[in-house]
Structure 1
Amino acid sequence: MKLSIERGTLLKAVSQAQSVVERRNTIPILSNVLIEAEGAAVRFRATDLDIEVLDTAPAQVHQAGATTVSAVTFHEIVRKLPDGALVELTADSTSNTLKVEAGRAQFTLATLPKEDFPVMATAEYAANFTATAGTLKRLFDKSKFAISTEETRYYLNGVYMHVADAGGQPALRCVATDGHRLARIDAPLPPKADDMPGVIVPRKTVGELRKLLEDDDAEIAVSVSETKVRFATPDITLTSKVIDGTFPDYTRVIPVGNTRKLEVDASDFARAVDRVATVSSERSRAVKLALEEDRLTLSVNAPDSGAAEEELAVSYGDEPLEIGFNAKYLLEIASQVDRENAVFLFNSAGDPTLMREGSDDSAVYVVMPMRV
């Protein structure tokens, strides 16, 4: 195998591929990236057996072939090469090495046989549809903060993507929860997505997917089966196993009878929460919200470190209410609001609180209160 490729193009392709590689591997081949050169392109493939990334880049292929090399080392070398350099890659199967040359710099890396590299089996996908990168970015970005990190509840360690009924209209919906807060985000259902099975997309896959969604207008091809999900652009294909488990019935925890309505400027609210939480102990980080007519008082009382209080002018016309929340949860939810106003709907100090963005109910958040 022998090819020439521009350094910037190579770095972009290798960066995407190497990011799925686990730093500690008991199986040596999983630390490597598979390089396949053919025609006028070179493909870089990396996997951790649960996720596979395939990145294609244009190159001058002088001799077709394939090899595997340490993903992290190769990425570091390419990253440190000068901008605009033409990089030449030459694989020697007799000495099991890959020579990397750029200008006067030359590196020789050990390789492993391409036959040892595990390629993820292709699945029969039940649904194939396209969605814009902007739509997918909104669905996953606004829900991922609520993914559980508790390994014992593995079925909550991802975002549940499924087809749902949103006020009589079919929607593509993403839901995540950790039992303390919940995010439910809807988008219009793309054509041909009707038969999509509901799948739980793992946390790591959600993180990797973000790199495919930089251009909001780009069309992303989405394929879904009971066991796998695939997202593809013309250059990059991300294939992932889905979490083998049943996502709980989240509709039961979304309150429908909350009538006490608070409307507040989302950015003012987030900044005020952040300020008063500064004095609270890291362990509890509880913030008390005291509501009276058109006035909200945020307060923290931490016996070890002090107290803080801040008042905000808000729109509220119901009975006075005092309720406490984990400051981190409040901040994360408030930071999701793209519109000017956040609307909170309360029932009592012990019941879950609902939050949405202004009058838009395509994004709904639920947060459990704390005792303060």
Structure 2
Amino acid sequence: MKISIERGTLLKAVSQAQSVVERRNTIPILANVLIEAEGDTASFRATDLDIEVVDKAPAVVERAGATTVSAVTLHEIVRKLPDGALVKLSDDGASGRLTVEAGRSNFTLATLPKEDFPVMASAEYTSNFAAPAPVLRRLFDKSKFAISTEETRYYLNGVYMHVADGEGGKVLRCVATDGHRLARIDADLPPGAETMPGVIVPRKTVGEMRKLLDDDEAQIAVSVSETKVRFATPEITLTSKVIDGTFPDYARVIPVGNPRKMEVDANEFAKAVDRVATVSSERSRAVKLALDEDRLVLSVNAPDSGAAVEELPVAYGDEKLEIGFNAKYLLEIASQVDRENAVFMFNSSGDPTLMREGSDTSAVYVVMPMRV
């Protein structure tokens, strides 16, 4: 194999590959990226056996072929090369070495046989559809903060993507929860997604897939089966196993009859919570909300470190209420609000609180209170 490729193009492809590779693994080939050159493209494939990413990049191919080399080492070399450099990658197939040349720099890297590289079996996808990148970005960005990190409840370690009944008909919905907070985000159902099985997309896949969604003009081809999900652009294909488990009945947790309504500037609210939480004990991070007519008093009382109080003007016309929350959860939910106002719906100090963005019901958040 012998190819020439522009440094920026190579860096983009290799950085996507090396982020999939697990830093510590017992199978040496899994630390490598599979480079395949043919025609006028080079493809870079990496896997951790649960996720596989393939990045195609334009290249001048003098001699077609394939080899595997350490993804992290290649990424570090390319990252340190000067901007605009032309990088030449070549191996003769016999020496077990890949030569990387750019200007006056020359590197020789150990390779492993391409035959040993595991390629993820292609599943029969039962549903195929396309969705604009900004739509998918919103679905996953607004829900991923609520993904659970508890390994024992593995079925909560991802975002549940499925077709659901929305207010105006069927919607594409993403839900994540860790038992303390929940995010439920809806989008218009793309054509072809009607028969999609509900799947739990793992946390790592959500992070890797996010890199495909930065181009606002891009259409993402989505393929779903009971066991796998695939997101693809013309250049990058990301395939992942889904979490084998049943997502809980989240609808039961979302309160429907919370009568007390508070409307507040989301940005000001987040800043105020952040300020008063400065003195809270790191373990509980509890902040108390005391609501009275058009007035919210945020307070923290941490016997070890001190106390803090801040008052905010809000729109509130119901009876007085005192309720406590984990400050971190409030901040994460408030940071999801794109509009000016956040609307909180309370029932009592012991019941789940609902939050949405203004009058928009396509994004709904639930947070559990805590004793303060």
TM-score for both structures, normalised by structure 2 = 1.00
Q: Distance in 1 between matches of 2:334 and 2:283?
A: 21
Match of 1:305 in 2: 305
Match of 2:17 in 1: 17
Matched, 1:41 2:41: yes
- Give SS of 2:13's match: helix
- Give SS of 1:52's match: strand
- Give SS of 2:20's match: coil
Q: How far apart are residue 216 of structure 1 and its match?
A: 1.8
What are the within-5 Å matches in structure 2 for residues 96-115 of structure 1? 96-115=96-115
Q: Distance in 2 between matches of 1:122 and 1:245?
A: 21
Q: How far apart are residue 168 of structure 1 and its match?
A: 3.9
Deviations 1:239-294 (A, max 9, x none): 00000000000000000110100000000000000000000000010000000000
Match of 1:4 in 2: 4
Q: How far apart are residue 25 of structure 1 and its match?
A: 1.0
Q: How far apart are residue 92 of structure 1 and its match?
A: 2.2
Match of 1:121 in 2: 121
Match of 1:182 in 2: 182
Q: How far apart are residue 169 of structure 1 and its match?
A: 1.1
Question: Unpaired runs of 5+ in structure 2?
Answer: none
Match of 1:228 in 2: 228
CA RMSD after TM alignment: 0.5
Match of 2:348 in 1: 348
- Give SS of 1:19's match: helix
Runs of at least 4 residues off by over 3 Å: none
Match of 1:281 in 2: 281
What are the within-5 Å matches in structure 2 for residues 1-372 of structure 1? 1-372=1-372
- Give SS of 1:197's match: coil
Q: How many residues align?
A: 372
Q: Distance in 2 between matches of 1:92 and 1:241?
A: 35
Deviations 1:90-133 (A, max 9, x none): 11221100000011100000000000000000010010000000
Q: Distance in 1 between matches of 2:12 and 2:139?
A: 25
Q: Distance in 2 between matches of 1:116 and 1:243?
A: 26
TM-score for both structures, normalised by structure 1 = 1.00
Deviations 1:269-328 (A, max 9, x none): 000000000000000100000000000000000000000000000000000000000000
- Give SS of 2:354's match: strand
- Give SS of 2:159's match: strand
Q: Distance in 2 between matches of 1:91 and 1:136?
A: 40
Structure 2: which amino acid aligns with 1:355?
A: M
- Give SS of 2:255's match: coil
Q: How far apart are residue 78 of structure 1 and its match?
A: 0.6
Structure 1: which amino acid aligns with 2:74?
A: F
Identity of aligned residues (%): 84
Q: Distance in 1 between matches of 2:220 and 2:369?
A: 38
